[in-house]
Amino acid sequence: MTNPLLAVKDLTVDFITRHGTVHVLDDVSFDIGDGEIVGIIGESGSGKSVTAYSIMGILDHAARIRSGEILFQGRDVLGMNRSELDRWRGKAASIIFQNPRTALNPIRSVGDQIADVLARHTPARASEIRAKTIDALKQVRIPDPERRSKAYPFELSGGLCQRIGIAIALACAPRLLIADEPTTGLDVTTQAVIMDLIRNLAREQKTSVALITHDVALASEYCDRLIIMHAGHVVEVAPTAEIIDHPRHPYTAQLLRSVPSLVDSIGELQAIRGSLPDLRRADLPFCRFAERCDRRLPICDAERLHLGPALERHAVACRNPL
């Protein structure tokens, strides 16, 4: 991709714990273009959220970024100092967290929390910030925004709290929005409302979106491209329709067969074999899916494999792709 908005290159992240070093991400690379909605898909433990937190600079203190670059409009986010990062977050890039009740401050009204972001990044008077706060609530379709702005998170439903999270994330019209499991814990109807809202607001503001989810069916409905992750590796990247119709990596194929809405009959539904490898192992295989794969060849264990083109706009990290 020429001049992408975001380019993650060879990102490698470890977590130092009392039980050993956890090799969470290993040479993760992908791009996100202007105005593009990209899904980052994988099982729990595949490294999706760690990738998001690395981009936003909010990793846990136990994390160590061993190598890599995170380029936003050509500038390396990892090279920013604390004040530069604080100015960048919220204004250029923002994040919607998967648990809005945990992410929101329980002792401040939701209107004040939106105003805090606006005050930090917008040179405006208090009256203007107040008006923009109400506009932000209207934008996420919250009824009676004047009254709701005075409410506290515990007074609102999960769906309304998630809308507040979206309002905070989009308050300063960022170029990049990371939505980390934004529909977790919401009923199916509310999930659709929230995802429609994110997609429509992103299109209106020309914001690029990285949707992080384990819900392949959800991502297939809303995303332009899919990035498939397994155990800290990016294993496949392609346009959504191409991956759904013609998965090349064995893990992607198994992942799709585990989704009821993506198979023709209940008899085709299959669980993904095995489990993720222990990422504390010093002898992790070059392909972390190899021990679960029925297409494993001797060459899979012989040398390192990087993501490479399988077809036009379709890249796969596999020695024996489908």
* Domain membership flag for residue 212: yes
- The strand pairing partners of 8, in sequence order, are 30, 70
* Domain membership flag for residue 98: no
| Listed residue (58, 52, 57, 50) closest to 22, CA to CA | 50
* pLDDT score of 144: 94
Per the listing, tokens 């021990």 go with: 291
Output the CA–CA distances (angstroms, integers) from residue 298 to 258, 292, 301, in the order listed.
27, 14, 6
* Domain membership flag for residue 237: yes
Rounded-to-integer distance, Cα 267 and Cα 247, Å = 20
Per-block mean pLDDT, blocks of 10 residues, the chain (322 long): 90 96 96 96 95 96 97 96 94 92 93 96 91 95 94 94 94 95 87 92 92 94 97 97 96 94 85 92 93 92 79 87 94
| Listed residue (194, 316, 227) closest to 39, CA to CA | 227
| Listed residue (174, 192, 136) closest to 35, CA to CA | 174
Q: Which residues contact 205 (CB under 8 A, 6 or more apart)?
A: 170, 173
* pLDDT score of 310: 62
Pairing, β 6-17 against β 314-316 = unpaired
Output the CA–CA distances (angstroms, integers) from residue 23 to 53, 56, 199, 232, 313, in the order listed.
16, 20, 33, 8, 29
Output the CA–CA distances (angstroms, integers) from residue 14 to 22, 62, 141, 168, 288, in the order listed.
5, 8, 40, 30, 16
* Domain membership flag for residue 185: yes
Rounded-to-integer distance, Cα 242 and Cα 237, Å = 10
* pLDDT score of 284: 93
* Domain membership flag for residue 115: no
* Cα dihedral 155/158/160/165 (nearest 10): 110
Signed CA dihedral, 131, 133, 135, 138: sign only: negative
* Domain membership flag for residue 37: yes
pTM recorded for the entire structure:
0.94
Range of the domain at 206: 6-92+174-316
Domain at 262, CATH number: 3.40.50.300
* Domain membership flag for residue 117: no
CB of 310 closer than 8 Å to CB of 321: yes
* Domain membership flag for residue 275: yes
Structural domains in the chain (count): 1
| Listed residue (59, 63, 91, 53) closest to 181, CA to CA | 53
- Residue 53, φ and ψ in degrees, nearest 5: -65, -30
